[in-house]
């Protein structure tokens, strides 16, 4: 990759499609930074949960979100999310935080604050950024846009296995139900709903393993980038 040129790669899709695993690997292959925007929404959700704000209290969320100072930095290429001075990486990947992130990310004030931060990163450096609205809103001029999907049952099973591998209890039916709810909320919210950008390439990973998905996406990235020369 030409090191002088800033390359932006957007990967969007529903919860559990494998976006972060794939985006991380693509970033490594290309030698650029991986930005997990979901983690920023999760950090905001953690802040709101700790503040005792209810997921459906839009006014309180709008007021309180101003007090959250969220920043991201990179240590050895890994993203560190800082919330009011505290590294909160370890607290972000629970279902409770994920569900609150889905609920609070419908709020325009929350989105405005985090989108600004994400856009600044994409301007400054080459990034692979994953989320829900990256190709449509955050980086509309990204050179490569991928929409990564998989069937609900497949995504629920992947999450279920992740919990078991971590030795945590999990209920497959409950996970599937939560994924359905999150999909619906992420796709039907008024501001920046999850949708495939018109110029995004859709990849369905239902029948692909990680390596196969990565291979497919890298081929798309290479084709797009080489076409730019």
Residues near ligand DC (CB under 6 A): 15, 37-38, 41-42, 98, 101-102, 105, 131-134, 182, 186
The smaller minimum CB distance to ligand DC, of residues 57 and 95, is found at 95
Strand order in the sheet with 127-131: 33-36, 127-131, 8-12, 144-149, 201-204
Neighbours of 94 (CB within 10 A): 14
For the four alpha carbons of 139, 141, 144 and 150, in that order, the dihedral sign comes to positive
The smaller minimum CB distance to ligand DC, of residues 1 and 74, is found at 74
Q: Are 204 and 149 in contact (CB under 8 A)?
A: yes
The smaller minimum CB distance to ligand DC, of residues 37 and 79, is found at 37
The smaller minimum CB distance to ligand DC, of residues 148 and 221, is found at 148
The smaller minimum CB distance to ligand DC, of residues 122 and 131, is found at 131
The smaller minimum CB distance to ligand DC, of residues 68 and 134, is found at 134
Per-residue burial over 123-152, b = 16 or more CB atoms within 10 Å of its CB, e = otherwise: eeebbbbbbbbbbbbbbeebbbbbbbbbeb
Query: Minimum distance between the CB of residue 41 and ligand DC, rounded to whole angstroms?
Result: 3
Query: Minimum distance between the CB of residue 53 and ligand DC, rounded to whole angstroms?
Result: 16
Query: Minimum distance between the CB of residue 15 and ligand DC, rounded to whole angstroms?
Result: 5
Query: Minimum distance between the CB of residue 131 and ligand DC, rounded to whole angstroms?
Result: 2
Q: In 3D, which of 115, 170, 167, 171 has the Cα closest to residue 140?
A: 115
Query: Minimum distance between the CB of residue 216 and ligand DC, rounded to whole angstroms?
Result: 20
Query: Minimum distance between the CB of residue 129 and ligand DC, rounded to whole angstroms?
Result: 8
C-alpha distances in Å from residue 20, one per residue of 52, 63, 69, 161: 29, 30, 23, 16
Q: In 3D, which of 167, 41, 154 has the Cα closest to residue 104?
A: 41
Report the greatest alpha carbon distance in the chain: 52
Say how far apart CA 47 and CA 67 lie, in whole Å. 9
């Amino acid at each position: 990759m030409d090191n002088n040129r800033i390359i932006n790669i957007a990967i969007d899709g529903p919860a559990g499609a494998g976006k972060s695993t794939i985006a991380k690997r693509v970033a490594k292959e290309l030698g650029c930074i991986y930005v997990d925007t979901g983690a920023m929404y999760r950090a905001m959700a953690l802040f709101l949960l700790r503040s005792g704000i209810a997921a459906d209290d839009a006014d309180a969320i709008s007021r309180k979100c101003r007090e959250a100072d969220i920043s991201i930095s990179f240590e050895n290429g890994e993203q560190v999310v800082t919330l009011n001075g505290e590294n909160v990486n370890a607290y972000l990947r629970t279902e409770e935080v994920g569900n609150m992130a889905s609920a609070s990310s419908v709020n325009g004030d929350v989105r405005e604050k985090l989108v600004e931060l994400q856009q600044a990163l994409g301007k400054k450096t080459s990034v692979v950024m994953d989320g829900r609205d990256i190709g449509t809103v955050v980086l509309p001029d990204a050179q490569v846009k991928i929409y990564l999907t998989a069937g609900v049952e497949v995504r629920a099973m992947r999450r279920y296995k992740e919990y078991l591998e971590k030795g945590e209890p999990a209920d497959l039916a409950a996970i599937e139900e939560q994924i359905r709810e999150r999909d619906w909320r992420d796709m039907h919210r008024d501001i920046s709903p999850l949708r495939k950008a018109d110029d995004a390439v859709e990849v369905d990973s239902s029948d692909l393993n990680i390596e196969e998905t990565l291979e497919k996406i890298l081929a798309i990235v290479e084709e797009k980038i080489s076409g730019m020369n």
